[in-house]
Structure 1
Amino acid sequence: MNKTTITVYGAEQRCASCVNAPGSKETYEWLEAAISRKYDSSDLQFQYIDIFTPPEQEEHQYFTQKILDDEYFYPLVVVNGEVVGEGNPRLKTVYRALESEGIQPTG
């Protein structure tokens, strides 16, 4: 089975409309911890992409450019190439996206 990839795109500075929201790195760490508690993390791959120094892969370039063009707020949460949250993502929405990918809760 292929791993489900959860990607958080963000930056050190907070997004202008995200006052009082956690930063991108905090959001990434919080999501990774919450998801790993509920699901078997051996089926999951987590990655954090800095929007100002993205890797060369086309998907990362695409989402980074969309954020820089103000089409998405960051942190932007993407599950297997599909946007599931932006700005201050909702955990339930991310869980639904994982379950639609066939990831089942443990326990």
Structure 2
Amino acid sequence: MFIHLSLASGDDAEGWSAEEIEEYSGWMSDRGRRWRDGGVYAAEAGADWYRAKFGPEAFGLHHRFYLHLDGGDNFWLSAEDGCEGVAQSKQKPAFDFGGPGARNPFSIFK
């Protein structure tokens, strides 16, 4: 899993499409929101940058969030819908993402 940082203002070639901006409902469960694959992004944005950058099997979900440090100097990602997590060292996994061999989406912060 990757977090791709982009703008939702229209000033970023790899940012949110007009459709993503219009339909955004950050408090809705991820299950009820629209997940997009490269074909959808190409149709909406008029370019195939998404598949070129992330591959033909990639898919995404636009999400507003922020990064911050807490009082204990822990690095956190906090999403608008309440999802959050702290990045952990490689010695101590932050979460159980499906058992042995599962990838931690916060590993990009290590």
Give TM-score, length-normalised by structure 2: 0.25
Greater CA radius of gyration, 1 or 2?
Answer: 2
Q: More strand per residue: 1 or 2?
A: 1
Give TM-score, length-normalised by structure 1: 0.25
